[in-house]
């Protein structure tokens, strides 16, 4: 069955991949909702039951929006935000806006992937714990099974266990997706592009390789799997403005993938999922100036991360900083009698949050994270306070 609305084609490799056969038949057959703005967006707009007078807001209430955006707040936003997508396409080096899908954070993109690809109570996906929790939550919401192939965690390597994944592909030939988080959360560790390439080329896996790059801007340049998207129809990449761009509150994430996949997601999404204020702020973030500020902030946070690692490892009863440290957080062991100790890590976490005003994340119950806390890199001052509080507790 053809993909409704598709106007450009993406890569045809690898030969063993067929997207249409992965998509739920009801989604493939879906006649997308046609919203008013899909038809016309200029003229006297009496087509969408909007408020003809305008927004109920005090004058100048919305800071940072252009006057024309403020006066359009009573209108539904663009269903496509093509200019924003074009800027993302340019930055991530894919041909055009047809290769970009926008979501209300990458969390919405994750959910959309499940809803478009996975038949509830039938299909399965693969994750590689320790990993981002929403893959599991969305699987449960959508009644999708999870095959878990833990990362190789020895000495905090946090790399894919390719042999075990291969065995899982043989045992589960109908897997719909593999989620590869790179740099990983909570591991902070990049998965090299050759490894991702090998998963994409593995003929035993017929599903979609979803690379979650929420933290990729903190990693060295040239490590993004966006470079694979134009070569492999079965590779897509999710990114977000919540981390390197510091815009978690606007809820903007995106997927870079083949036009076929983007079209399917677009057909199934809510008509106006991304709001005008969000898109307007996103456009500014992707301006030359915005990108330069993002890069400068990343440099500062990465320097703060390196300084934090150097200092935190001097504190008694702090063990190793695990993983590759390619993100804006670190994973660190709390020791008791020289060994990582999960109950002590939990106690430190609770004491810090409840009595010392510093909130980190307990991760000791995750596979390969025994006795670990995950600590977001702060400003210089925040890191100083964090280190002082840890010293008080651990020395
Ligand atoms: C790996 C990973 N993916 C996705 C997300 C969600 O990002 P967003 O804010 O775009 O929904 C997070 C947030 O912490 C994350 O760590």
Ligand 1 close to Cβ of residue 137 (< 6 A) = no
Instruction: Give the pLDDT confidence of 137-195 residue by residue, as tens digits.
Output: 999 989 999 999 999 999 999 999 999 999 999 999 999 999 999 999 999 999 999 99
59 — pLDDT class (breaks 50, 70, 90):
low
* Cα–Cα distance for residue pair 328/183, rounded to 1 Å: 10
What are the CA-CA distances from residue 227 to residues 160, 197, 230, 380 (Å)?
Answer: 20, 11, 7, 34
Q: What value, to the nearest 5°, has the Cα angle with vertex 261 and ends 160 and 328?
A: 45
Average pLDDT over residues 10-35: 90
What is residue 129's predicted lDDT score, i.e. its pLDDT?
98
Mean pLDDT check: name the lowest of 7-16, 30-39, 74-83.
30-39
DSSP-derived 3-state class of residue 309: helix
CA-to-CA distance for 312 and 26, rounded, in angstroms? 53
If phi > 0 it is left, if psi is from -120 to 50 it is alpha, else beta; for residue 229 that is: alpha
Answer with the residue of higher pLDDT: 362 or 38. Answer: 362
Average pLDDT over residues 256-274: 97
pLDDT at 67 over 90: no
pLDDT for the residue numbered 45? 77
* Gap from CA of 230 to ligand 1 centroid (Å): 24
Cβ 167 vs Cβ 126: under 8 Å: no
Residue 58: is its pLDDT beyond 90?
A: no
Q: What pLDDT is stored for residue 211 in this prediction? A: 98
Tell whether ligand 1 has an atom less than 6 A from the beta carbon of residue 185.
yes
Q: Which residue has the tokens 């025994």?
A: 370
Given this model, what pLDDT does residue 63 score? 62
Minimum-distance ligand 1 atom for the alpha carbon of 248: 9
pLDDT, residue 345, reads: 97
Q: What percent of the chain has pLDDT over 70?
A: 97
pLDDT for the residue 33: 80
Is the distance from the beta carbon of residue 108 to the nearest atom of ligand 1 less than 6 Å? Answer: no
* 240 ligand 1 Cβ < 6 A: yes
Q: How far apart are CA 109 and CA 162, in angstroms?
A: 26
Using one digit for the tens of pLDDT, what is the confidence trace for 217-247? 999 999 999 999 999 999 999 999 999 999 9
* Long-range contacts of the stretch 3-7 (C-beta < 8 A, 24+): 3/28, 3/260, 3/263, 3/264, 3/267, 4/30, 4/31, 4/32, 4/263, 4/267, 5/32, 5/263, 5/266, 5/267, 6/259, 6/260, 6/263, 7/98, 7/259
Confidence of residue 60 (pLDDT cuts 50, 70, 90): low
pLDDT(301) > 70: yes
Q: What is the pLDDT of residues 328-337, one digit of tens each?
A: 999 999 999 9
Q: Is 189 in the pocket of ligand 1 (CB under 6 A)?
A: no
CB 32 within 8 A of CB 79: no
**pLDDT for position 354:** 93
**pLDDT score, position 352:** 93
> Residue 61 pLDDT more than 60?
no
Confidence of residue 39 (pLDDT cuts 50, 70, 90): confident
Q: In this structure, are residues 101 and 254 in contact, taking their beta carbons and an 8 Å threshold?
A: yes
106 lines ligand 1 (CB under 6 A): yes
Average pLDDT for the chain: 94
Q: Give the span between the Cα atoms of 235 and 131, in whole angstroms.
A: 19
Residue closest via CA to ligand 1's atom 16 equals 185
The CA distance from 168 to 147, in Å, is: 8
CATH number, domain 291-394: 3.90.1150.10
Which CATH number is correct for 19-35+76-286, 3.40.50.880, 3.30.70.1880, 3.30.200.20, 3.40.640.10?
3.40.640.10
Average pLDDT over residues 115-131: 97
Identify the H or E element spanning 246. none
Q: Kindly state the helix (H) or strand (E) to which residue 87 belongs, with its residue range.
A: helix 82-91
pLDDT of 4 above 70 = yes
Domain boundaries, given as residue ranges, for the chain: 19-35+76-286, 291-394
Give the C-alpha separation, 236 to 99, whole Å: 10
Pocket test for ligand 1, best of 134, 183, 215, 285 (most atoms within 8 A of CB): 134
Tokens of 13: 């490799």
* Integer Cα distance of 33 and 213 in angstroms: 30
Is the CB of 107 within 6 Å of ligand 1?
A: yes
């Amino acid at each position: 069955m053809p993909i409704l609305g598709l106007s450009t084609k993406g890569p045809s490799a690898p030969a063993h991949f067929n997207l249409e056969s992965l998509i739920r038949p009801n989604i493939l057959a879906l006649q997308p909702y046609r919203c008013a703005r899909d038809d016309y967006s200029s003229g006297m707009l009496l087509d969408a039951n909007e408020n003809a007078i305008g927004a109920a807001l005090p004058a100048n209430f919305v800071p940072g929006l252009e006057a024309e955006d403020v006066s359009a707040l009573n209108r539904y936003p663009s269903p496509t935000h093509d200019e924003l997508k074009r800027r993302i396409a340019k930055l991530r080096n894919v041909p055009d806006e047809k290769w970009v899908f926008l979501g209300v954070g990458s969390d919405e993109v994750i959910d959309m992937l499940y809803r478009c690809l996975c038949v509830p109570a039938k299909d399965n996906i693969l994750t590689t714990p320790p990993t981002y929790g929403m893959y599991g939550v969305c699987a449960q919401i959508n009644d999708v099974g999870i095959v878990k192939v833990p990362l190789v965690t020895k000495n905090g390597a946090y790399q894919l266990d390719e042999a075990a994944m291969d065995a899982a592909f043989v045992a589960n030939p109908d897997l719909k997706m593999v989620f590869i988080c790179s740099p990983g959360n909570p591991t902070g560790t990049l998965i090299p592009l050759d490894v991702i390439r090998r998963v994409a080329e593995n003929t035993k896996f017929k599903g979609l390789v979803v690379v979650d790059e929420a933290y990729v801007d903190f990693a060295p340049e040239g490590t993004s799997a966006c470079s694979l998207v134009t070569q492999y129809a079965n590779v897509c990449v999710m990114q977000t403005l919540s981390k390197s761009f510091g815009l978690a509150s606007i809820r903007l994430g995106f997927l870079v993938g083949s036009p076929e996949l983007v079209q399917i997601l677009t057909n199934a999404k809510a008509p106006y999922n991304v709001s005008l204020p969000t898109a307007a702020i996103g456009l500014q973030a992707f301006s030359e100036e915005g990108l330069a500020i993002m890069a400068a902030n990343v440099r500062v946070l990465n320097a703060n991360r390196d300084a934090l690692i150097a200092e935190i490892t001097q504190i008694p009863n702090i063990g190793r900083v695990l993983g590759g440290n390619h993100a804006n957080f670190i994973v660190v062991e709390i020791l008791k009698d020289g060994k990582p100790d999960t109950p002590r890590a939990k106690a430190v976490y609770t004491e810090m949050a409840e009595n010392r005003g510093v909130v980190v994340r307990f991760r000791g119950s995750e596979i390969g994270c025994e006795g670990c806390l995950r600590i977001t890199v702060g400003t210089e001052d925040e890191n100083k306070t964090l280190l002082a509080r840890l010293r008080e507790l651990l020395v």
